[in-house]
């Protein structure tokens, strides 16, 4: 088990956050990357060290690839932290407009705001660039948006 895995286990079990921080710091010493910086942010949050947690989260997002950023924002959305998610979706789309999934993120944002026409437009852009194995799924989302259905449920 890696240090990052050990820290995540302790976090999930809600035990020994101080020990989890030791594990994740060792993991970062071995290889500093998005995953373990994000884990560190979660551990620091559990320790109620919010400023340090925010710094670790920012570092993680700075290291993340566009898809990792997209999934991070989706996770925030799942936690009902919409404003944070929307800011990340917008920033990701600004930095990586050529990535199909950033349009999916914007579509989810617009859908949450009740802007179904804008959401459908963005999801159609996602559909145009989506890989073949995602096209039928994304097309289904376009149809739901055109029917004014919430795709975030």
Q: Got the DSSP string for 74-97?
A: HHHHHTT-HHHHHHHHHHHHHH-T
User: Which position has the token pair 């956050």?
Assistant: 17
The structural architecture, per CATH, of the domain 66-146 is Alpha Horseshoe (1.25)
pTM listed for this prediction: 0.87
Counted residue by residue, the chain has a size of 153
The pLDDT mean for the chain works out to 95
Contact 86, 109 (CB under 8 A): yes
pLDDT in tens, 94-139: 999 999 999 999 999 999 999 999 999 999 999 999 999 999 999 9
Question: Within a 10 A sphere around the Cβ of 1, how many other Cβ atoms?
Answer: 9
Closest CA to 71 of 46, 96, 92, 50: 92
Cα 127 to Cα 21: distance, rounded to the nearest angstrom: 41
């Amino acid at each position: 088990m890696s240090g990052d895995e050990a820290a995540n286990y302790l976090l999930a079990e809600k035990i020994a956050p101080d020990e989890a921080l030791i594990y994740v710091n060792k993991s970062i010493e071995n290889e500093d990357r998005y995953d373990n910086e994000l884990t560190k942010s979660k551990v620091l949050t559990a320790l109620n060290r919010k400023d340090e947690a925010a710094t670790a989260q920012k570092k993680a997002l700075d290291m993340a690839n566009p898809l990792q950023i997209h999934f991070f924002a989706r996770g925030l959305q799942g936690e009902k932290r919409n404003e944070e998610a929307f800011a990340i979706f917008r920033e990701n789309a600004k930095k990586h407009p050529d990535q199909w999934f950033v349009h999916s993120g914007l579509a989810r944002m617009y859908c949450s705001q009740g802007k179904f026409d804008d959401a459908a437009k963005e999801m159609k852009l996602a559909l145009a660039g989506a890989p073949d194995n995602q096209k039928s799924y994304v097309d289904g989302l376009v149809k739901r948006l055109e029917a004014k259905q919430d795709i975030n449920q």
